[in-house]
Amino acid sequence: MATSAASTDLRALFEPRSVALIGASADPSSISARPLRLLRQHGFAGGLYPVNPKYSELSGLRVYPSIGAVPETVDMALVIVPAPAVSGVLEECAAAGVRCAVVISSGFSESSADGALGRQLQQDIAHVVARSVLRVCGPNSEGIFHPAVGLCATFSPAVDPEHGFVPATPGSGAGPIAVVSQSGGLAFALLNHAADRGLDVASVASTGNEVDLGWCDYVDYLLDQPSTRVILGFVESFRQPERLIAVAHKAARLRKPIVLAKIGRTEAGRRAAASHTASLVGPDAAYSAALRQLGIVRVDDVDEMLDLAAYFSAGRLPAGRNVAVLTASGGAGAWLADACAMRGLELPPPDPLAQAAIRAFIPTYGSVGNPVDITAQAVLEGGFERALRVLANSPEFDTIVAVATLVREERFFQTLAELREATAGSRATVVYYSYTRASPKVLAALTEEGIPCFSTPGRTARAVSAAVEYGEFLTRVDQVAVFASENMAPWPPPAGPLSEAGARAYLAPLRIPAPDDRLVHTADGAVAAVAAMGSQPVALKVQSPDLAHKTDVGGVRLGVHAPADVRLAFDEVVAAVGSNRFEGVLVQCMAPDGIDVLVAARREPLLGPLVVVGMGGVDVETMADVTMRLAPVSVTEAHAMLDELRGRPLLGGPRGRPLADVAALATAVVRMSELAAALPIGVANIEINPLRVLAAGEGVLMLDAAIEMEGS
């Protein structure tokens, strides 16, 4: 697995020795007054330097007229001044040697009231950054929170003691969760929600408009911190896909999961395009595939995010998909079992020895299948812990989900020692599902034991399934993708839009075979071409760089060979070209039977190069059966892509069909992925459809190809 570049050094942002508050105010109701109060209430022990020429003193502190007048070099400047003044203030900060600035001021590129002015003001900040070593968080950031040093550099009411927030004691070593969000409000809302769940948050970063530091920079730094075991993220877009790849690699290497909400799932803004791929691969589908490939766990809501944070911060990763459900409530256990099965988890019955051991101490009306229902009567006699011990030591189970009511604190703590003994040394992970409201003290005790607990069957199954999938990702991370696009020389750009014949000639370096063919310009030439190819059935296809879908306009005729039929077919396909440019007619030998697939190389503007594979042919959009990866990919990952297709059984020889040449198809996917990684500027998409997959050992044939230029 590739390693990331050196980490972004953001120590001055999260552990500053001193903070200057530029624009600090005496008005207690103003946003610009709040950060000074919050820094003091959270116990920040470093130097505090209010800066505002309107005052000489604030809250007992001397106020300085400018950052240049502060008597020491400041680590962090917290900037809360009107937007037009920000770039000038940052110039002064850079001149004064300030290491980083958090710009809380808004009114930049996010502003719809005067977008042009806001964009210019943000560009002014970018110019300051480019000319200095100052690092900038924001603008339009809600600030940074790092309780280990009492840093509360924000105005957020979510961390305000006057609104009920209880500050941590500086140096308490909070963690293991860090929150990095492009939305300031959600960043601190996640902090509150995590606290309600009893989860410790080590750091919160609101990245704002990211004129300098981007989402990946914060994650890169926080992954190196011992207090961080899980990263929670909220993003709208990534500015640098290559940084995302490097940071994801680093997270996998450190075994620190990234749980991400990526908004923008709707495809209302997707443009219409000429290629099949463009209609099948929207930006959100590309993001989902890329994040899954990188081991970043994508979630859809706050509850799911916090459930996974609870699991990843407390529990061990399962070694496989086999789950045992242990319950005293038949209904709750059955509901959970259904939820697990729907998530692709396996629920095999315990082996005969385990069944016999459990049957020995439960009533006859209990069940030793899976779920294992020991009944309430057995619970009263200590059967729950005994059954848990049996299942935890059964080698066929990777996860034991204990279904219980955790509202009774006294009973739980009476049996806690037995719980520890039952699970000690087990290879299986243990998870609790409390079907009644759980006691906060019990939840805290389970967390200390490294046992996550959830409140519904669906949330339990979802968390276990995500943990299983993340564990599976870690076992194959070195084979997921090549990620060597920076070493690939770009292909020469095509000379404008190309016909099918031109596209296939352009793709010749891929070494993907094609049927024998001839490009002709007259009916006599077509007849002669058929004779030269042995008078076997051929396809006639009109060639024009203006026709992306020849079949739709009647520009293709299949299976002709008699001279009269060839002449008629030639005239018909030529008539279909209409007023479009005419390059000739391609006379192509009919290909042997096989399975048609689509393989494409594509560039997503905000994500990077993709390779796409799916079931192909003229009905490709109807089937909508595609999968994709960031490019380039390894042969192993190419096979994994094929295994994801709903149509994969068609390649496996169903109903007497010969086995398809899956190995040759995987090789074609790898070669197309290498082209994707080297896609020249101006090319949006290159598509082979159909690529005919022949019988095992016979290879593949490129039957048609198209190149989509950007803006076409």
Residue with more model confidence, 239 or 656 = 239
Tens-place pLDDT, residues 621-645: 767 899 999 999 989 899 999 999 9
Q: Looking at the domain assignment, is residue 626 inside a domain?
A: yes
Residues 153 and 217 in one domain: yes
Measured CA to CA in angstroms, residue 255 lies from 104, 224, 252, 568, 633 at distances of 33, 11, 5, 65, 22
Residues 333 and 404 in one domain: yes
pLDDT score, position 280: 56
DSSP H helical ranges for 148-214: 184-196
Residues 575 and 694 in one domain: no
Residues 576 and 622 in one domain: no
Looking at the 3D structure of the chain, how many domains does it have? 4
Q: Looking at the domain assignment, is residue 466 inside a domain?
A: yes
Measured CA to CA in angstroms, residue 228 lies from 40, 68, 191, 225, 470 at distances of 25, 35, 14, 6, 18
Residues 131 and 225 in one domain: yes
| The domain boundary residue, chosen from 541, 572, 589 | 589
Distance CA 448, CA 431 (A): 13
Which percentage of the chain shows pLDDT scores above 90? Answer: 78
> Rg (Cα) of the chain, in Å, rounded?
31
Q: What is the CATH number of the domain that holds 368?
A: 3.40.50.261
Q: Looking at the domain assignment, is residue 179 inside a domain?
A: yes
Q: Looking at the domain assignment, is residue 505 inside a domain?
A: no
Distance CA 406, CA 408 (A): 5
Residues 341 and 451 in one domain: yes
Give this prediction's pTM.
Answer: 0.89
- Quickly state the pLDDT bin for 4 (edges 50, 70, 90): very low
Report whether 300 contacts 261 (CB < 8 A). yes
The neighbour count for residue 561, using CB atoms within 10 Å, is 15
Residues 585 and 622 in one domain: no
Residues 575 and 601 in one domain: no
Side chain identity at 633, as an amino acid letter? V
Q: What is the CATH number of the domain that holds 166?
A: 3.40.50.720
Least trusted range by pLDDT, from 123-127, 486-490, 667-671: 486-490
Q: Looking at the domain assignment, is residue 694 inside a domain?
A: yes
Structural domain including 323 reads 317-478
Residues 438 and 556 in one domain: no
Q: Looking at the domain assignment, is residue 85 inside a domain?
A: yes
If phi > 0 it is left, if psi is from -120 to 50 it is alpha, else beta; for residue 272 that is: beta
| The domain boundary residue, chosen from 478, 505, 532 | 478
Residues 446 and 583 in one domain: no
Distance CA 34, CA 185 (A): 16
- Quickly state the pLDDT bin for 309 (edges 50, 70, 90): very high
pLDDT beyond 80 at 252: yes
pLDDT score, position 342: 97
Average pLDDT, the chain: 91
Residues 559 and 604 in one domain: no
Tens-place pLDDT, residues 35-67: 999 999 999 999 999 999 999 999 999 999 999
Supply the angle between the helices 283-294 and 241-254 in degrees, to the nearest 10.
30
| The domain boundary residue, chosen from 589, 613, 645 | 589
Q: Looking at the domain assignment, is residue 527 inside a domain?
A: yes
Residues 599 and 660 in one domain: yes
Q: What is the CATH number of the domain that holds 536?
A: 3.30.1490.20
Q: What is the CATH number of the domain that holds 631?
A: 3.30.470.20
Q: Looking at the domain assignment, is residue 684 inside a domain?
A: yes
- Quickly state the pLDDT bin for 604 (edges 50, 70, 90): confident
Least trusted range by pLDDT, from 255-259, 656-660, 663-667: 656-660
